[in-house]
Each structure stands twice: as C-alpha cells, then as structure tokens.
Amino acid sequence: MHLRISLLVSSLIASALSAAEPHSPWQLIGQWDNDLLTGSDDGYTNGARIAFVRPITAGSEEYYFLQNTLNSLTGSERGNRISNFRFPDEGEVTFQYGVGLTQLMFTPEDSTATTPPRGERPYASWLGLEVSLQAAAGDSASSATLSIGTTGKNSYGEEAQEWVHRNISDSPLFQGWDSQAPGELTINLHLDHKQRLRFLDHTQNWPIQIDGFYEWGGALGNFRSDAYLGALLRIGHNLPENYITPRVQLGSFTATIFDNERPANQDFAIYGYTGARGYAVLHDISLDGPLFRDWDESVDSEPWVGEFSFGIATRYKLVEVSLSHTLRSDEFKHQNNSSRYGSVLLRIGTQF
C-alpha cells in the first residue's frame, strides 16, 4: 500500500509542477500552527504546511485531467445558476494551481497518561498532500482542493512532536501515542468560495484602508466532512490584492479577490485582520475515528463549532509575514478546555 500511495503522490506533484506556466512566478508558502505560542500544549497542538502556488492558463497543453476536474468544481465555467451565483461578474477568469504537504497533530493535556483522560482530546495525527485549483474573477474566488493522506503511525506525529520537544521547546514527552487514531488512507474534497465586500471600497484612497470578504464552503471525505460560513476584515496601509490563509487550513492556500488598482507604491504593507467562522460538522477522523476501523479512544464530535481569529501581517515586495491567534469553541462532547493556538506564516514570491 505504501508503494501505491507513493506513486500516487509522485504523479500528483508532477502534474502540479508541469501544469504551471513556464515564466510565471512561484509563491512559496510556509505555515506553522502551535498551541505553545499561546501558552498551552493540548488539543490541536501543531500544524505545519509547505505549499507552492503558481498561475496557470486553462486549456493549455499542460492542463491535465486533474486540473479539468477541479476546474469544473470551482464553478468558473458558469452556465448554471450555482456557477453564476459564485461568479456573477463577466470578467476574465484567472487560475492558480497549488500543491502542499501538510501535517496535523492532536494530543490531550496530560502528557503522562497512556490513554487520554475523560474530557481531553485523543491522540491523532494526519500527514497528507493537497492539490488545489483556484479560480478568480471580479470580486469572487473559488477553490477546489483534493487532499490525500493518512492517519496513524505513518503520519509520523509522534516522531515530529518528540523532535520538537527535545530540540526546540524542551517540553515533556507525551506518553500516549500508542493510543492514537489508527492508520487509514483518507481522501477528501474541499470547496471554498470567497466574495469581496464591495461596500468597503470607499476607503481605498485613504491612508488606512479597510476591506474584507465573506466566505462559505465545505469538505467531504473520510478525513473530515463539514460545511462553514465566515467573514474576515482587514485594516491597514497598502492592503495587498491577494489574501493568504494565515493558518494551516486544508483546502485554502491563497485568494486574489481585492482590487489590483492600488496606489503604485506597494512595496511595503502592514495591516491587522480579524475573522470568524461557524462550522456544521458531520465527521472528524481525529475525534470520531476512522470510518473503516474501530478505535477505543474515539469521542463524539460536536455538530456545531465556532472560531474567532485575529492577527497582524506585514509585506515587503515579494515577502510577507503574519502572526495570528485563533480561539475555537468545544469540538467534542464533555471537552474540558477549548482550543486556542497561534500561527506563523511566511510567503515568498520568486522566479524558479
């Protein structure tokens, strides 16, 4: 099975790299979530992603079956009521293709317990590849992402956490990884749509500008199945035209939905942001356990989950850095402590 997964991952990466335009710049995006940044060490304890995003042209010779499939899911082809609702403007549609490698880790608060105590999150880890296509036109941006990964020992959550605790944080080693969610191959589809808030445009020529968007989307698969609604506001100087998800969020890399008619001097930007999301959750493998295997430590996920985030970002030319903080409501029944974690993002745009 490991050989089949490796071959599939290799083919997806090759497709992503070959699909890009030969002279268009890559964006390298690195993201890190960790609860130690907020002074805790439990729940969603760590997330890391490295991703590459690049513009592509639909219909080119490098446009493969996977891109065509994802394109139909973004709604950019229009022609029906749902697609026309997602892309009401008649402007030209532009595309970005991305590939990312992501690892997520979850642990209880008690590092000495070999099984998670009642009210604390069970051990779980996930390692996977994401391939994503984003379509943008006018005030709208939609993305469709396919993620393929695995839970259990082959996700290397224990090894990654142990290395960080030994070499970086000097924190206690967690003793219950033998009870983690068992290994299962996961396949998930993620859909995301963002719509710019046009009524904020009157601040565009101010020294301090305000913009934002509302969003909706969902996921379907044996890793996670959910639906969500949310919104985000930004306030600052020289707000960039593109928005990058400030934390590790499956199915969302970057979105270009703001004006490209900003003032000419845009080398430097600084801004703050705040956002909220509400989720309707049907299944979460890190809580409910795998669909096709039993797990004694599974818990019942909450059907309704909310989160609030805020942060600050700065950009100079092709380099952007952001710091953010996320608060999340209870995610499973009888949960003792709500999750909170900090996030660091680094984006570098370069020609290679």
Backbone angles phi, psi at 34, to 5 degrees: -160, 135
Q: What is the CATH number of the domain that holds 234?
A: 2.40.128.140
The answer on pLDDT for 225 being more than 60 is yes
Q: How far apart are CA 300 and CA 288, in angstroms?
A: 6
Q: How far apart are CA 194 and CA 217, in angstroms?
A: 9
Among 32-41, 195-204, 206-215, 259-268, top mean pLDDT goes to 206-215
Domain that holds residue 288: 2-350
Label residue 247 by pLDDT band (50, 70, 90): confident
Cβ atoms 326, 4 nearer than 8 A? no
The answer on pLDDT for 60 being more than 50 is yes
- 65 compared with 173, residue with greater pLDDT: 173
Cβ atoms 320, 244 nearer than 8 A? yes
Percent of the chain at pLDDT above 90? 47
Q: How far apart are CA 321 and CA 348, in angstroms?
A: 9
Among the ranges given (98-112, 177-191, 252-266), the one the predictor scored with the smallest mean pLDDT: 252-266
Long-range CB pairs of 162-166 (<8 Å, 24+ gap) are: 164/46
The mean per-residue pLDDT over the stretch 171-195 comes to 94
Among 29-33, 142-146, 275-279, top mean pLDDT goes to 275-279
User: Is the CA virtual torsion 35, 107, 181, 222 positive or negative?
Assistant: negative
- 149 compared with 8, residue with greater pLDDT: 149
End-to-end CA gap in the chain:
33
Q: Give the per-residue pLDDT at 20.
A: 47
The answer on pLDDT for 201 being more than 90 is no
Which is nearest to 58 in space by CA: 162, 3, 146, 133? 133
Q: How far apart are CA 197 and CA 184, in angstroms?
A: 40
The answer on pLDDT for 78 being more than 60 is no
Q: For residue 94, count other CB atoms closer than 10 A to its CB.
A: 16
The mean per-residue pLDDT over the stretch 90-116 comes to 88
The mean per-residue pLDDT over the stretch 57-85 comes to 62
Element containing residue 15 per DSSP (H, E): helix 2-19
The answer on pLDDT for 45 being more than 50 is yes
Label residue 264 by pLDDT band (50, 70, 90): very low
Q: What pTM did the predictor assign? A: 0.86
The answer on pLDDT for 9 being more than 70 is no
Please count the structural domains in the chain.
1
- 296 compared with 67, residue with greater pLDDT: 296
Which is nearest to 16 in space by CA: 131, 142, 128, 101? 131
- The first and second tokens of residue 19, run together, are 């699909």
Q: Mapping DSSP to helix (H, G, I), strand (E, B) and coil, where does residue 109 land?
A: coil
The mean per-residue pLDDT over the stretch 307-316 comes to 94
Label residues 105-135 b or e (16+ Cβ within 10 Å = b).
bbbbbeeeeeebeeebbbbbbbbbbbbbbbb
Burial of 220 (0-12, 13-18, 19+ CB in 10 A): middle
